[in-house]
Amino acid sequence: MVKRILQIDEPFVHGYYKWDDEGVPEGELVVTVDLKAESISVFRAGYEIGAAVITFGDSEKPTPTGVFPISQKSKDHVSNIYGSPMPYMMRLTNDGVAIHASDVKWGWGTRGCIGVPLEFARRLFEQATLGDRVIVTNGKMLGLGDAIL
C-alpha cells in the first residue's frame, strides 16, 4: 500500500528528479512507470523515495507495458544492438528493454528503454536488486492508500 507520495514543489520537467529516502524503513522495492505522465516512481516499504521525468520508446520500438522483474544489472553497460552506453542498466525484458541513465530532454525518445537522469539512475541502481518488480502502465498513477500491486 502507498504510505507516502513525495511532495514536489518544483516544476516536474524533463531532466528533473527528486529523491528522499531519509527515515524510510527497509522493505520491498517496487518501481512504477507511467508512460502517459512520462514519469517513474520508486517505492520502498510503500513510501515513495524517488520520482523523475523519463524518456521512453518511440513509435518504431515502443516501451512495453506490464509487470517486469529486474533480470540483470550492469553499471557500465553498452548496448550490443545500438552500441550506445547505458549507464546503470537494469534489464526488464529479454529483447533489451531496460531502465538506464540517459539524457532526458523534451521530445527525445528511446528504442523501448526507460531513460532517467544519471544521478537518479545511480541511486535506483544502488537500491534495486534482481527480481524487484517494475510496473509499466500507460495512464495509471498511484495515490495514497492505493495497493501497489
DSSP string over 46-75: TEEEEEEE-B-B-SSSPPPPEEEE--EEEE
Mean pLDDT value of segment 87-114: 86
**Alpha-carbon distance 88 to 67, whole Å?**
20
Give the mean pLDDT of the chain: 91
Stretch among 14-18, 108-112, 143-147 having the lowest mean pLDDT: 108-112
Q: What digits encode the pLDDT tens for the residues 5-62?
A: 999 999 999 999 999 999 999 999 999 999 999 999 999 999 999 999 999 998 888 9
CA distances from 3 to 22, 30, 124, 145 (A): 15, 13, 19, 6
Contact 134, 73 (CB under 8 A): no
